[in-house]
Every structure is written in C-alpha cells, then in structure tokens.
Structure 1
C-alpha cells in the first residue's frame, strides 16, 4: 500500500515578536490622556539601563516637532511637519484595521542611557519599542 502525501495549504507568513508588558502598555495609555503628564521611570533593555520621564505619545510628538523646527536648511519646513504626517499615516492604518491597539512604543524625556562600562549618554527625547523593554520600575536611580 502506498501513502499519498499532500502538500500543506498555502501558509501565510507569521510575524512574531516579544510581547510587551501589559501593565506598562496600560500605564502609557493612561499617560496619553494628558499632554502634561509624566512619571519618572527606569527601564532595563538588552544593552543597559535607561531612565527618564515617561510621557505620552502626544507630549513626545509635540517636543519632537519643537526640536525639528530648530533644524536649519532647505528642507526645514518639510521636516517640521513630519511628526504630524507620520501620525496621520498611523491613524489611517489603524482605522483600516478597525481595532484600537495598545501602545507599542514608549517615549521618554530627559533621558540617561547607561550601556555597559561606557559613560552615561544624556538625551532630551527617546522613543523605543515596548517589546524591547525587559523590565521597568517607577522612579530613577538614586
């Protein structure tokens, strides 16, 4: 008796990525409700530790747009509108899916990044993927 083997049906590609911490996502969603809200936070990332004030997306976008307006050159007018252009594209994409999503990005202001034995790096703004955060605590190191 011979066995027949059927090819599996066409499978679509599956994208996998680490799952972000639900409590951190909900905290960020709460901060998104008020533009002036922020909380001190310390994050553990694969390469080191990051601390600063976690802010909502709108607050980060406002600060980012303000910093882009300080850029000089021929394309300065175009880049000043970039944050709103990006957000419009994301709104259209999410509207097409018809589902409100939890935040996938975290935004910090007044950031200190400590990587291994290197000197601390200070940044005015930082944006990172929530799935890359392996641990977090409210507050900054003493």
Structure 2
C-alpha cells in the first residue's frame, strides 16, 4: 500500500480551532427564551472565576437594560434610551426575520455576582459570550 493515497500518513495542515459553546447550556438558554418571565438560578465558570445569578431571556435582558438606560442623566442620555431596541432591530434587518436561526451565542443574567478573589462584584444585569463559559451548574452557591 502506498502512503501517497493513505490519509493517515499524509502531512496535515494546521487546524484552527475555535471555542465551542456547550450545547446543553445553549438549549437551556433557548428554553428560557421562550418565556420572558422565566428565570433559572445558575452558576458559571468564566475566566477562572465564578459568576452566579438568575438566567433570563434575551427579551427580559433587553427590557431591563432599556429601563436602566432611561434612568441615566446627562448629555446623550435620551439617545441611549432606545439603543437596545435599535440593536435588536438591526439584527432582525440583517437576518431578514425575527426568529433566531441558530442556537444562542450569548447568555444573560440578572442580579449577577462575580467572584474571582475576596471581593465579589455585584451587577444588576450581565451579558456574556457563551464561548467564554467553561463550566456551569444549576443553582447558586449557598
């Protein structure tokens, strides 16, 4: 047998790998996304630290983010008020429809707490890329 036609003995080109989000977590996010009122306590491992809070839908996150932007003062505050809806509309315009065609790529938490050292960081809303999540668990630390 010649090694010329044997794929196992052929030199291989470098392979570029990309982080892949956890399929089960993507499906869980899609499930929560079916009800804007649904929440689920969740703990994530992100960047070597823990992050926990309530998993919420993209729709709930957008509404709460818009509400928080309405509370801002200063120059340009009124421009930011409609920013979340404008971003969502731009995505719809680009896709040509408002139904997601692929699994979620982002995760949204409410009342999130990040723990990487001794001082936890509390955030009312948090959004992160799923490819940055290296582990997760249902529930929050006691």
Q: State TM-score, norm by structure 1.
A: 0.83
Q: Is 1:41 matched up with 2:42?
A: yes
Structural mapping, 1:55-66, within 5 Å: 55-66=56-67
In the comparison of the two structures, how many residue pairs are matched? 127
Secondary structure of 2:85's aligned partner = helix
Consecutive unaligned residues of structure 2, counting only runs of 5 or more, are 1-15
Secondary structure of 2:18's aligned partner = coil
What is residue 22 of structure 1 aligned with on the other side?
23
Alpha-carbon distance in structure 1 between the residues aligned to 2:94 and 2:17:
20
What is residue 128 of structure 1 aligned with on the other side?
128
Alpha-carbon distance in structure 2 between the residues aligned to 1:86 and 1:47:
30
What is residue 140 of structure 1 aligned with on the other side?
140
How far residue 16 of structure 1 moved from its aligned partner, in angstroms, is 5.4
Structural mapping, 1:83-94, within 5 Å: 83-94=84-95
How far residue 99 of structure 1 moved from its aligned partner, in angstroms, is 7.2
Which structure 1 residue ranges, 4+ long, deviate > 4 Å from structure 2? none
What is residue 107 of structure 1 aligned with on the other side?
108
What is residue 78 of structure 2 aligned with on the other side?
77
Consecutive unaligned residues of structure 1, counting only runs of 5 or more, are 1-14
Alpha-carbon distance in structure 1 between the residues aligned to 2:94 and 2:32:
22
Please give the root-mean-square deviation of Cα atoms over the aligned residues, in Å: 2.0
Secondary structure of 1:123's aligned partner = strand
Distance 1:99-1:50 versus aligned 2 partners, 3 A rule: closer
Distance 1:99-1:68 versus aligned 2 partners, 3 A rule: closer
How far residue 91 of structure 1 moved from its aligned partner, in angstroms, is 1.4
Q: State TM-score, norm by structure 2.
A: 0.83
Q: Which shows bigger deviation, 86-95 or 38-47?
A: 86-95
